[in-house]
Amino acid sequence: MKELFDKLGGKPVTYVLGAVLLAVLVDWSGITWRMEQMVVDTELRLVRAPVAGDIAIVAIDEKSLREYGPWPWSRQLYARLLDHLQDAGAGTVAFDILFADPRRDDAEGDQAFAEAIERHGRVVLAMSSDRDISSGTVSEILPRPLFARPAAAIGHTDLPIDQDGILRGVYLQAGSGAARWPQLALAALLLDTNRKIAHLPGHESVRGGYQGQGRWIRNHRILFPFSSESNPVLAFSFADVVEGKVRKSLLAGKTIFVGVTAQGLQRLFLIPGGGNWLMSGVEIQANVLSALEQDALLTELRGWPRWIVLALLSALGGMVVALYRRNCVTKGLILGLLVTGGASLILLLFFGVITPTIPMWVSLAVMAFLANRRQVLYLQYSSGRDTLTGLCNRRSFEEHYQRMWRINERHQRPLFLLILDVDHFKRLNDAMGHLHGDEVLRKLGAYLKSKTRRAGDRACRIGGEEFAILLDMDEPDMQRVHGYAQQIVDDVRDLGISYSDAGQDYCLTLSIGCASMVPGESSTPDALFDAADQALYQAKKAGRNQVWCYESDKQPAAPNAVEDKLYGQ
């Protein structure tokens, strides 16, 4: 498993697929939703467009309340407003006010308003919804039939709030049971005969018509840039327009939104803008129409399209991280973030598509961390390895040796050490060359590595042609260790690595010195090493190509004691 992980960790495709899968998983889980919305807010401010010049608001403000008294007023005033707007040459008039109930004390005012709607011919009235608390069903609140019949269109005024309390977009269609009512601004736009909309923009979350009676259905969600405080929608006081104090040229040809902006009466919504930036409902309607007219809409991808774009951008960033995985991971991460951020910015500015950047950046950061971690582990591994044989080097072996000494001291178990030396290796080097000698050491290293399979066992190259093996046996027995070492001697001889020198043929052989010792107060790691080295010396002295062993009975490894306990064959 480790070898498979190491193999996969070195391939660029691992980082690409890892970035893609992790980005999709993070986005699907929703754990970065709030951070993602902060990015969306920044993007909405970044693409802020000037308000279209053919839109204006007639505001029921504090001045109008002082002029005409407490609101609601007689609908005779709205009739007068429509007549003034028609006389000024204004275009479509959209009311962000519900006219659902009759004014029983002012039937003449209602009739006058209905007649004014009919005379104007291009009036859009608002509808809304009402949820029954007991049953949970949603019903539609429509304009009074007296007003709805002469109206040119009816549009919904539903303004959805996100989980964090911020309004970022609207649904172009909504309704109870089916999303059949256009948004108020869209209804006003559709009355313009010069504008044709073949396909509604925004994310289509509902397909088909009927979706269940009693449910409020929304469809075609769009995001749009809001007007700034320095460039607000043109607004006039309701009283000034009715009293003729506004020049007709300022109203001519404009789409007019009528709504409440007076403090205490208006509906205020928190919008993206940094801090607590509030905007009234009628201003939002005007902003929606401005975005529709200028095609300045933004689409936040949902579902499969979102994940496909996220996967492509994450793959791009993963390729950059993989490119620098061995040189400078931090540089690769920074470039990956810049590349994916730039691609997201291009999609935003040129195609109006908002991409999920935070899940993508999280995945790249994780991939960069894993690449860096792999590099650290590789360096740690390499620093403890002999580059020629692939075995442990002297430093790594001594660390493991000290660790195993402490463990066996705690459990009072003997520790076994083998020191191996290639016989007449200088003669082989002189006869065959150093390259051939290196190849011999490489083969020998691969063989010794295969002979150390337990967790505590470790083979190491401690010198030019000298090796060491540390054994941690469950059932310690010097006779078994002697047999193990003799098997190594026989196997190396049977490899058949031969060479010629001065007309004489030679075969590669090993000499091995073995020693065992129970770690304790009376013994030291150096003592065990010295004992194994003494055993190796005796094996060399006895003619090489053989094994000599030394077994301790917890006594210090003094030279005489070593010689007394040596035996071989």
pLDDT band at 4 (very low <50, low <70, confident <90, very high): very low
* Closest CA relative to residue 461, chosen from 452, 569, 214: 452
Task: Quick: pLDDT tens for 215-224.
Answer: 889 998 888 8
In a domain, 556, yes or no: yes
CA pair distance 341, 378, nearest whole angstrom: 31
539, 435: one domain: yes
* Closest CA relative to residue 95, chosen from 117, 125, 118, 130: 125
Task: Quick: pLDDT tens for 318-338.
Answer: 999 888 877 788 888 999 999
237, 325: one domain: no
Burial 438-468 (b: 16+ CB within 10 A, else e): eebbeebbeebeebbeeebbbbbbbeebbbb
Residue 40 has pLDDT above 90, yes or no: no
Alpha-helical (H) ranges within 255-356 are 281-293, 303-323, 329-351
Average of per-residue pLDDT across 282-309: 89
Q: Look at 529 and 380; give whichever has higher pLDDT.
A: 529
501, 429: one domain: yes
Q: What is the dihedral of CA 543, 546, 548, 549, to 10 degrees?
A: 170
User: Which residue type does 121 have?
Assistant: G
pLDDT band at 274 (very low <50, low <70, confident <90, very high): low
* Closest CA relative to residue 352, chosen from 307, 292, 299, 294: 299
User: What separation, in Å, do the N-terminal and C-terminal C-alpha atoms of the chain show?
Assistant: 41
Handedness of CA 16, 21, 22, 24 (dihedral sign): positive
* pLDDT for residue 204: 74
Phi, psi of 462 (to 5 degrees): -105, -5
Strand, helix or coil at 17? helix
- Calculate the average pLDDT of the chain: 86
In a domain, 450, yes or no: yes
62, 134: one domain: yes
pLDDT band at 242 (very low <50, low <70, confident <90, very high): very high
362, 343: one domain: yes
96, 189: one domain: yes
The 3-class secondary structure across 166-215, one letter per residue, is ECCEEEEEEEECCCCEEEHHHHHHHCCCCCCCCCCCCECCCCCCCCCCCC
User: Using the 8-state DSSP alphabet, how is residue 462 labeled?
Assistant: -
127, 34: one domain: no
The domain boundary, picked from 348, 379, 410, lies at 379
Residue 114 has pLDDT above 90, yes or no: yes
150, 250: one domain: yes
∠ CA 328-332-333, nearest 5°, is 120
* Closest CA relative to residue 172, chosen from 67, 299, 262: 299
Residue 8's domain comprises 2-45+299-379
